[in-house]
């Protein structure tokens, strides 16, 4: 069966049975762990608190198995042009193929990936030795600034922050992404231009924000170098697939990107150069090896044990059968604070689609939920009230660590007990009767009113990931598992997870509006816009 032409099943019988079952009953079945808890290397996935029983999971798994997912998966790994709207292969897995037991990408791709890694290694090692001049860069680097946006920022930012324990000494990493001039201005004020190396990351080399910020930094360093462009170029490495545009721009070194790697899947390429500068090339290769372990797992494991397939099954159930509209990702690991925003792009830019790629027809079911979240326990003291007692059910994803890098055992045990407690509380809840028994004073009416407010309906699903520890390897594996979950959902929902046409319209209109803000004297030039936009432009002009 080709899932892309068949509507999703409603799994009616299972949905009906489970609608009458509370998670409180389901999670108390100790045998669930046999099917709902699975390990891949350093990562334990626990979906025992999803609102599925074994029969329902089997029904979803068997459905998935009948959709041709293995052939679709292999087509991706082998470099078939599965991104049809852009006629491109999808080969981010080739970027870590060197560490895979089953490299499947075409030989020419593997060769150019290996060469690019070697090129990056030379730059990183030279800079780490304080010998940047030997590779055409400045000699001593104290600060590396990554300028990029979307996939050219979020992945490197996540990994650099997550792996702080592994940072080489003497080099600080910075990320400049938004076009809000305050960020560029403040960063320049905090840096010494003499020892600042900038990595300008843009696959297209056509992104307004990145080129503008790159230009601001180039002007700043050019001024420091008293107009010497050759000296200034030594402060810049560019990463792009648009070599012609980069050559015109004037960076001393250019690292490649390729059409077959989407921005949000690109941290494994030279887009991740800032990661390599932060943790060294050995660490970067460990990150790739972790991702390769997840790739091999995804390629060789049957659905029942396959973590990305199980994640996709749970999400499909929540989104398409239970009708939930968002999912909250809560890392109980400060170092993973950037994970929710990274996943927002990975999942929402990939799966925020509504038509089938070859027929152009509307898909029949809902696609991506809103992905959001922030670190625990902080989140508990902010919005968890709504997750426990609000009217919407929001599935959660908790991420914890077994062995942190610090020795503060009490902190870690408090942190993890909170993670486990939230998962338990959300699923078990507290019944009205339990709450009433706790309400000792007042009239019967008052006790009942209080008990109603202190009742937790529970029955709210969640997933737990436990990482043995946070290392380049485990981080690489975790991110790659999410990438493959995205692949699975794109396949099951019948959409192209690898293009992003939905971001284009706003970019075009922003370019049309810009001159009317830059040139506020000529009121006539705003006639082309809708009345709401005109009204706001006028209001801004009046207050300048």
Active site residues: 349, 381, 507
Number of H helices, E strands in the chain: 22, 11
Q: How far is the CB of 269 from ligand F6P (least distance, A)?
A: 11
Q: Which is nearer to ligand F6P, 132 or 155 (CB)?
A: 155
Q: Which is nearer to ligand F6P, 63 or 265 (CB)?
A: 265
Q: Which is nearer to ligand F6P, 150 or 272 (CB)?
A: 150
**Three-state DSSP class for residue 462:** strand
Cα–Cα distance for residue pair 276/381, rounded to 1 Å? 36
State CA 122 to chain mean position distance.
28
**Three-state DSSP class for residue 238:** strand
Q: How far is the CB of 176 from ligand F6P (least distance, A)?
A: 13
Q: How far is the CB of 271 from ligand F6P (least distance, A)?
A: 8
Given CA atoms 50, 53, 56, 57 in this order, what sign does their dihedral have? positive
Cα–Cα distance for residue pair 492/499, rounded to 1 Å? 16
Q: Which is nearer to ligand F6P, 46 or 499 (CB)?
A: 499
Pairing of strands 37-40, 43-46: antiparallel
Query: DSSP string spanning 129-146?
Result: TT-GGGGTS-S--SEEEE
CA distances from 338 to 198, 205, 351, 411 (A): 21, 24, 20, 21
User: If 0-12 CB within 10 Å is exposed, 13-18 middle and 19+ buried, where does residue 481 land?
Assistant: buried
State CA 103 to chain mean position distance.
24
User: If 0-12 CB within 10 Å is exposed, 13-18 middle and 19+ buried, where does residue 125 land?
Assistant: middle
Q: How far is the CB of 495 from ligand F6P (least distance, A)?
A: 16
As a whole number of angstroms, the longest Cα–Cα distance in the chain is: 83
Q: Which two tokens stand for residue 209?
A: 């924000």
E runs forming strands in 51-191: 143-147, 172-176
Q: Which is nearer to ligand F6P, 286 or 347 (CB)?
A: 347
How large is the C-alpha radius of gyration of the chain? 25
Q: Which is nearer to ligand F6P, 100 or 202 (CB)?
A: 202
Q: How far is the CB of 149 from ligand F6P (least distance, A)?
A: 5
Residue nearest to ligand F6P (CB): 263
Residue of 328, 312, 481, 346 whose CA lies nearest to 393: 328
Q: How far is the CB of 506 from ligand F6P (least distance, A)?
A: 9
Q: Which is nearer to ligand F6P, 76 or 415 (CB)?
A: 76
Residues lying near ligand F6P in the complex (CB under 6 A): 149-152, 202-204, 207, 210, 263-264, 349, 500, 503
Cα–Cα distance for residue pair 541/525, rounded to 1 Å? 13
State CA 299 to chain mean position distance.
21
Q: How far is the CB of 122 from ligand F6P (least distance, A)?
A: 23
């Amino acid at each position: 069966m080709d899932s892309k032409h068949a509507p999703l099943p409603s799994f009616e019988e299972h949905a009906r049975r489970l609608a009458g079952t509370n998670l409180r009953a389901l999670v108390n079945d100790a045998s669930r762990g046999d099917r709902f808890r699975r390990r891949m290397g350093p990562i334990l996935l626990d979906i025992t608190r999803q609102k599925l029983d074994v029969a329902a999971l089997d029904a979803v798994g068997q459905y998935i198995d009948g959709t041709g997912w293995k052939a679709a998966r292999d087509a991706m790994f082998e470099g078939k042009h599965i991104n049809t709207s852009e006629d491109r292969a999808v080969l981010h897995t080739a970027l870590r193929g060197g560490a895979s037991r089953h490299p499947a990408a075409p030989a020419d791709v593997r060769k150019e990936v290996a060469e690019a890694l070697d090129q990056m290694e030379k730059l990183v090692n030279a800079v780490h030795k304080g010998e940047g001049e030997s590779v055409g860069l400045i000699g001593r680097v104290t600060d590396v600034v990554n300028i990029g946006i979307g996939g050219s920022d979020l992945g490197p930012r996540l990994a650099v922050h997550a792996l702080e324990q592994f940072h080489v000494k003497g080099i600080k990493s910075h990320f400049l992404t938004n076009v809000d001039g305050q960020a560029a201005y403040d960063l320049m004020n905090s840096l010494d231009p003499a020892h600042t190396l900038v990595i300008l990351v843009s696959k297209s080399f056509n992104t307004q924000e990145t080129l503008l910020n790159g230009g601001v930094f180039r002007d700043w360093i050019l001024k420091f170098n008293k107009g010497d462009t050759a000296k200034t170029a030594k402060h810049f490495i560019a990463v792009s697939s648009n070599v012609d545009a980069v050559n015109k721009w004037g960076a001393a070194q250019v690292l490649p990107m390729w059409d077959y790697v989407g921005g949000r899947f690109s941290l494994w390429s030279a887009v991740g150069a800032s990661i390599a500068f932060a943790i060294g090339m050995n660490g970067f290769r460990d990150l790739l090896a972790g991702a390769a372990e997840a790739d091999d797992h995804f390629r060789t494991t049957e659905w029942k044990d396959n973590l990305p397939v199980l994640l996709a099954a749970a999400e499909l159930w929540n989104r398409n059968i239970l009708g939930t509209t968002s999912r909250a990702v809560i890392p109980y690991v400060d170092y993973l604070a950037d994970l929710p925003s990274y996943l927002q792009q990975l999942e929402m830019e990939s799966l925020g689609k509504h038509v089938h790629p070859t027929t152009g027809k509307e898909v029949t079911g809902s696609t991506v939920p809103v992905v959001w979240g922030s670190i625990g326990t902080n989140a508990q003291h902010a919005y968890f009230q709504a997750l426990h007692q609000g009217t919407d059910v929001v599935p959660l994803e908790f991420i914890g660590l077994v062995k942190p890098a610090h020795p503060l055992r009490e902190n870690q045990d408090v942190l993890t007990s909170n993670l486990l407690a939230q998962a338990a509380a959300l699923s078990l809840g507290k019944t009205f009767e339990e709450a009433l028994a706790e309400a000792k004073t007042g009239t019967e009416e008052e006790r009942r009113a209080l008990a109603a407010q202190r009742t937790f309906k529970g029955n709210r699903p969640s997933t737990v990931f436990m990482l043995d520890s946070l290392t380049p390897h485990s981080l690489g594996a975790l991110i790659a598992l999410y990438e493959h979950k995205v692949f699975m959902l794109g396949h099951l929902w019948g959409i192209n997870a690898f293009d992003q046409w939905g971001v284009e319209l706003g970019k075009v209109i922003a370019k049309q509006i810009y001159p009317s803000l830059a040139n506020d004297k000529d009121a006539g030039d705003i006639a082309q816009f809708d009345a709401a936009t005109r009204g706001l432009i006028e209001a801004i002009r009046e207050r300048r």
